[in-house]
Structures are given as C-alpha cells and as structure tokens.
C-alpha cells in the first residue's frame, strides 16, 4: 500500500526502503529524527531528493495518490470566524464526499453539539478534534497523522483510538508520529524507530517496551489489580535518551 524505494530528503532523511501494508504504524524518535519529513514525503508536501515514494503504485505527488490519503499536520489555523460545520463542509467538498460524511466525521469525534460554533470559540482540544474530523472525513485508505494526540483531550483521544482501530480492521493503513508510550500502544501495531534521519529499527510495539511489576519483578502474567510499570528496551532507550541528550 505504501512503498519507499531508496527514498531520501537532503540533510533530513537518509535513503530508506519501506513496504507498509494495512495496519497501524507509529513513527517514534527524538526531535529531528525525520518523522515529520517522512510524513511530508508520503503526503506529497515534500519532493524526495532521491528514490521513489509510492501509494498503491502511484507517485506520492500525483492526484491519484492524493485521493487515497488523508494528512493531518500538527497544527491547522482556520479563520476564527468560520463555524465548525463550515470547516467540515469545506473538507467534504474538497474530497467530493457525500453530505452524510460530514455528520459521520462529526459523530466520530464528538462534535455534533459544536457544529454551529465559530472556531475561535472552541477549546484547543475541540479544535484538534475538528482537525481530525476534517482531515479524515470520507476515510481514504491511507492516514498520515503528525502527533495527533498532542492537543487532544482524553475523550477526543479515546474517540481517535476507536476510529483508528476501525479503520485498520477494514484494511486501512495508518502512519502516526507519537512521543508518549501510551499513544504508541493505543494507536499502532508496529513501531518504526528513527534517529538522525535514519530508520534504526522496526518491530511490533510490544518489542520496544519491557513490563515489570511495581516491586521490580519481571511481568510474566498481568495479575488483576497489579501496578505495572513500563520501561523502554535498550534499542529504544539509546535513541530517545542518549541521542536526545547529545
């Protein structure tokens, strides 16, 4: 579904080969690792310096690829006077989606009660819910989400997790950049670990964290009521802490 063949971006991302099928993938790494650059290449916002970036065989910067993806950046600044419903209607028209998709996206993110309110009157959490509803409206096959949970309230995050889960169960592909372990665990099946513009490792989410009980014993089986602590395995620790502190 998503293919990178020796794809690179000068001074930002070294050549990388990737093949991503249906499922959910978390881009993890310190600031400057190349996560947003990789998303920008997949979104067609950036042109690769070398190699190829393909979505279902279509070059990422072609109309055919644009029709099959959704991209939600970290921040979107809409005119404050626009009403939430107007934002979703504009997104629907851009995608040539059915009118029912507006209500469906609003319901997904719990926005039905605020559709008549101006964007400038919405809280930060509601604005992020609106960004996701507008970006994912019509549910194209490939979702590209750049730190979508950073400004979400807990209720909005729960709704996003449900939507991502449903999408990947229907055969969609979700690629999301995330920092907090709980976000990675809730939103993804696999981790793509990046550092200094290089893909360092790839594997199931559970292979990047070690779990133990509060008293220090290794966790062999989760017991009801046990307080479980999470810590990164050595590969993840080296990237997030040692390189992040240099």
Task: Note the pLDDT of residue 193.
Answer: 94
What dihedral angle (degrees, nearest 10) is formed by the CA atoms of 31, 37, 38, 44? 150
| Mean pLDDT over each residue of the chain, to the nearest integer | 89
- Residue 83: C-alpha distances to residues 24, 91, 113, 158, 179 (Å): 32, 13, 12, 24, 31
Residue 9 has pLDDT above 70, yes or no: yes
Provide the whole-model pTM: 0.88
Q: Would you give the end-to-end CA distance of the chain in angstroms?
A: 36
**Structural domain of residue 40, as residue ranges?**
1-68+141-207
Contacts of 42 (CB under 8 A, 6+ apart): 2, 53, 55, 60, 69, 71, 142, 144, 175
Residue 241 has pLDDT above 80, yes or no: no
**Do 133 and 152 fall into the same domain?**
no
| 137 contacts 105 by C-beta, under 8 angstroms | yes
What percentage of the chain has pLDDT greater than the value 70?
A: 88
Task: Note the pLDDT of residue 231.
Answer: 67
Whether residue 107 is contained in a domain is answered as yes
**Do 58 and 150 fall into the same domain?**
yes
Task: Note the pLDDT of residue 229.
Answer: 54
Residue ending a domain, choose from 110, 139, 168: 139
Please give the Cα distance from 149 to 179 (Å, whole number): 9
Average pLDDT over residues 60-82: 93
Residue ending a domain, choose from 117, 139, 161: 139
What are the phi and psi torsion angles at 227 (to 5°)?
Answer: -90, 105
Residue 151 has pLDDT above 50, yes or no: yes
Whether residue 4 is contained in a domain is answered as yes
Name the β-bridge partners of 23. Answer: 173
**Do 5 and 101 fall into the same domain?**
no
Whether residue 168 is contained in a domain is answered as yes
Average pLDDT over residues 117-129: 95
**Do 146 and 203 fall into the same domain?**
yes
Contacts of 165 (CB under 8 A, 6+ apart): none
Average pLDDT over residues 65-89: 94
| 21 contacts 173 by C-beta, under 8 angstroms | yes
Q: What is the 3-state secondary structure (H, E, C) of 86-137?
A: HHHHHHHHHHCCCCHHHHHHHHHCCCHHHCCCEHHHCCHHHHHHHHHHHHHC
Number of domains in the chain: 2
Please give the Cα distance from 66 to 58 (Å, whole number): 9
* Beta-carbon count within 10 A of 153 CB: 16
Whether residue 225 is contained in a domain is answered as no
Residue 244 has pLDDT above 50, yes or no: no
**Do 33 and 53 fall into the same domain?**
yes
Task: Note the pLDDT of residue 207.
Answer: 87
Find the angle CA(60)-CA(64)-CA(70) to the nearest 5 degrees: 65
Whether residue 232 is contained in a domain is answered as no
Q: DSSP per residue over 181-201, as a string? A: HHHHHHH-SEEEEEETTEEEE
**Do 91 and 43 fall into the same domain?**
no
**Do 123 and 163 fall into the same domain?**
no
pLDDT band at 246 (very low <50, low <70, confident <90, very high): very low
**Do 13 and 135 fall into the same domain?**
no
CATH of the domain at 176: 3.40.50.300
pLDDT band at 220 (very low <50, low <70, confident <90, very high): low
Whether residue 145 is contained in a domain is answered as yes
- In this predicted model, what pLDDT tens digit does every residue of 33-53 receive, in sequence order? 999 999 999 999 999 999 999
**Do 150 and 45 fall into the same domain?**
yes
**Do 155 and 203 fall into the same domain?**
yes
| 89 contacts 41 by C-beta, under 8 angstroms | no
Whether residue 130 is contained in a domain is answered as yes
**Do 53 and 170 fall into the same domain?**
yes
**Do 28 and 149 fall into the same domain?**
yes
Average pLDDT over residues 122-131: 95
Task: Note the pLDDT of residue 74.
Answer: 86
- In this predicted model, what pLDDT tens digit does every residue of 96-105 receive, in sequence order? 999 999 999 9
């Amino acid at each position: 579904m998503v293919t990178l063949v020796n794809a690179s971006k000068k001074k930002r991302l070294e050549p990388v080969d990737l093949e991503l099928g249906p499922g959910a993938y978390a881009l993890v790494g310190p600031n400057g690792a190349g996560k947003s650059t990789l998303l920008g290449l997949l979104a067609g916002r950036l042109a690769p310096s070398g190699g190829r970036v393909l979505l279902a065989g279509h070059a990422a910067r072609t109309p055919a690829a644009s029709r099959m993806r959704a991209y939600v950046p970290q921040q979107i600044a809409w005119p404050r006077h626009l009403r939430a419903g107007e934002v979703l209607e504009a997104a629907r028209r851009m995608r040539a989606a059915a009118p029912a998709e507006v209500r469906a996206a609003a319901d997904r993110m719990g926005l039905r009660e605020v559709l008549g309110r101006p964007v400038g009157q919405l809280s930060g959490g509601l604005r992020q819910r609106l960004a996701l509803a507008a970006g994912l409206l019509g549910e194209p096959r490939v979702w590209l989400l750049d730190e979508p949970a950073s400004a979400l309230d807990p209720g909005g995050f729960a709704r996003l997790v449900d939507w991502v889960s449903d999408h990947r169960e229907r055969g969609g592909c979700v690629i999301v950049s995330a920092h907090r372990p709980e976000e990675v665990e809730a939103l993804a099946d696999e981790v793509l670990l990046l550092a200094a513009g290089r893909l360092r490792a790839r594997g199931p989410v559970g292979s990047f964290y070690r779990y133990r009980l509060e008293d220090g014993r290794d966790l062999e089986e989760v017991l009801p009521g046990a307080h479980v602590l999470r810590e990164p395995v050595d590969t993840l620790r080296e990237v997030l802490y040692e390189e992040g502190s240099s």
